[in-house]
A and B are shown apart, each in its own frame.
Chain A
Amino acid sequence: MNKVSRWVWGAAIGVYAFLYLPLAIVVLFSFNDSNLNAEWVGFTLKWYVMLFNDEVMLEAALNTLGIGLVTCVVATVLGTLAGYAMYKWRLRLLPVLVLTPIAIPEILMGVSLLIFFVMLNMTLGLVSITLSHIAFCIGFVAIVVRSRLQGMDESLVEAARDLGASPAMAFRKITLPLIMPGIIAGALMAFTLSIDDFVISFFTAGVGSNTLPLEIYSRVKVPMKLNPEVNAVSTLLMMLTLSLILIVSRVAPNALRAE
């Protein structure tokens, strides 16, 4: 190994440490027998026990999963349609509407949806959060599905058509099975994005519609309410996202690359 590559390896290992050490610390302190996240005292599971008896957290978790599931289903259907339309036809408006929500800072979408829901006299709550989550998840699903379609061999569909399949049948028997991994990856992404979302939920949530990220925020913000229970819920949330992402990376290895 020459001098340059040794230097590069060192820098790379440093960056990986920078990426993972903070998360490792959160996990480590979730097993720490101390109120403060400062010093290792001893091993305990009491924060997890406390977490599973914490009704506020459990309700927030339930809300988060419910919003995530509905968002996942609706955004996957709409996103798949959008991805297919963007691949098949040269459209003008749809790509702009699909891609802009991904490109702009989240806060802009959050505040504009806040004005919108209040103007409609809609009570802010689980419904408004879900509607907003769907709006920003469509684009991610559409991108994954479209890139899967772009990698597909179009001649397979043509062959099916030559053999007498109707366009609908060719889609159902050929295209759909081939792009399924893309759709599954998109669905898991939509679910993950929804359960992790903080900024848009923050603006579109009302009284009594707590999600896990919102609850974590309110505890982290007020030191009096903060204890390693937050570390415990963070650890579990990380495990959930981690397993989902590992599934996505198996199903569609290229789905996660940012575009």
Chain B
Amino acid sequence: MSKPVYGRVGRFAKWLISAPPLVYLLIFFALPALIMMFAAFRFPGDYGGLLPLTEVDPETGKQTVLITLDTWRDYLTFENFGRFFEDAIYLELFIKSFWYAGLTTLICLILAYPLSWLIARSNKKTRDLLVLLVILPFWSNFLIRVYAWMIILGPQSYFSRMLNGFLGWFGIEPVSLLFSQFAVIIGLVYVHLPFMVLPLYANLEKHDMSLLDAAQDLGANAWQRFWKVTWPLSLPGVWAGVALVFIPALGMFAIPDLLGGTNSMMIGNLIKQQFLDSRDWPFGSVLSIMLTLSVLLLAAVAAWAGSRHKKKD
């Protein structure tokens, strides 16, 4: 697209059109994010929240700023970050969340690959229908989808009774499916599966089928055709899917909250706890910053890995 030289009118139009969304997002997205970063260096208030930096005189109503060049040490601190690294619990929780999100991503990939391959190989009409069928459940309410698994995995459900009856034959004690790590993983996979299918399908659709024919002519069997041709070509799609599943899964709190037990907490649950239950906002902000950094790191790795494979084509 050629870029015209803007006159004064053009520049005015540019400003007029981009300013409203820009200002809105500066106020309701960027500013809150900056405030949260700042909050990580503050002290918790006496009754939760943050220790105030200003004070209002009850008689005159005059507001005085308490934080000055002399007193800032009483109001700002690195302690909250220190606390994160001092107690191994927090790092362990991060590692566990990475493990849950990683396992979820792997299962999603295994489930999504054959499906995406099939969709990409169908004719145009079937393809659109199959894609729509993947997207539809994703647009139903998130909580309803989690609730559905609470029903299926509940102790009285057909599924639980069948499974436990089966286990009983082998003399194995009945297991409780709900409120376990198993339930959390199932919930995470269920909710994020479409995010893996869509980028994979978009990639597989573009493959040149004649490459597979050529491989077959040269004597490659089905497995070799997949492993030597299709898989390497699909890596950009795989990495896109990995990023789209891993990142939201890492920050999830509602699924462990509803399907998990006491030992299946994730980062999101800890953040929620700090903000709403123990009301230690500075530490909650530290945890949020750590989560943000993890997400940025992951996104960068996925983008780097994806582009590396793209260049090879």
Q: Please report A residues at the B interface, Cβ cutoff 8 Å.
A: 4, 7-9, 11-12, 15-16, 18-20, 22-23, 25-26, 29, 36-39, 77-79, 81-82, 84-85, 88-91, 93-94, 97-98, 100-101, 103-109, 111-116, 118-119, 131-132, 134-135, 138, 142, 154, 167, 192, 196, 198-199, 202-203, 213, 216-217, 220-221, 230, 234, 237-238, 241-242, 245, 249, 253, 256-258
Contact = CB atoms under 8 A, between A and B. Distances in A.
Nearest to A230: B147
Majority DSSP secondary structure for residues of A touching B: helix
Given A112-B35, A258-B198, A253 B128 contact: yes
Given A135-B24, A221-B258, A8 B114 contact: yes
A81 B32 contact: no
Contact of B29 (A105, A109, A202, A221): A109
Given A97-B25, A115-B39, A116-B36, 17 more contacts: A15-B111, A15-B193, A19-B134, A22-B190, A37-B151, A78-B24, A81-B18, A85-B17, A103-B299, A108-B291, A113-B32, A198-B143, A198-B254, A216-B143, A241-B139, A258-B198, A258-B244
A89 B199 contact: no
**A81, A104, A111 interface centre (most CB from chain B within 10 Å):** A111
A26 B115 contact: no
B141 A234 contact: yes
Contact of B118 (A9, A94, A134): A9
A111 B118 contact: no
Given A111-B36, A119-B35, A89 B18 contact: yes
A15 to B, nearest CB: 5
Nearest to A168: B13
A213 B276 CA distance: 18
Contact of B28 (A90, A108, A135, A253): A135
Contacts, number: 236
A22 B285 contact: no
Contacts of B272: 107
Q: 5 smallest A-B Cβ distances: which pairs?
A: A105-B251, A22-B148, A38-B156, A116-B32, A85-B18
A238 B275 contact: no
A12 B254 contact: no
Contact of A238 (B134, B140, B154): B140
A241 B141 contact: yes
13 contacts: A7-B114, A22-B149, A22-B151, A22-B190, A81-B21, A97-B25, A106-B251, A109-B32, A112-B35, A112-B36, A116-B28, A138-B24, A216-B144
A220 B144 CA distance: 10
Contacts of B134: 19
A238 B26 CA distance: 34
B1 interface: yes
Contacts of B13: 167
B89 to A, nearest CB: 19
A220 B141 CA distance: 14
A23 B21 contact: no
Interface of B: 1, 3, 9, 13-14, 17-18, 20-22, 24-26, 28-33, 35-36, 39, 49-50, 111-112, 114-115, 117-119, 128, 131-137, 139-152, 154, 156-158, 190, 193-195, 198-199, 202, 222, 244, 247-248, 250-254, 257-258, 268, 271-272, 275-276, 281, 284-285, 288, 291-292, 295, 299
A23 B29 contact: no
Contacts of B33: 108, 112
A100 B158 CA distance: 42
A167 B136 CA distance: 39
Given A105-B252, A258-B244, A23 B140 contact: yes
B163 to A, nearest CB: 14
Contact of B151 (A26, A81, A89, A138): A26
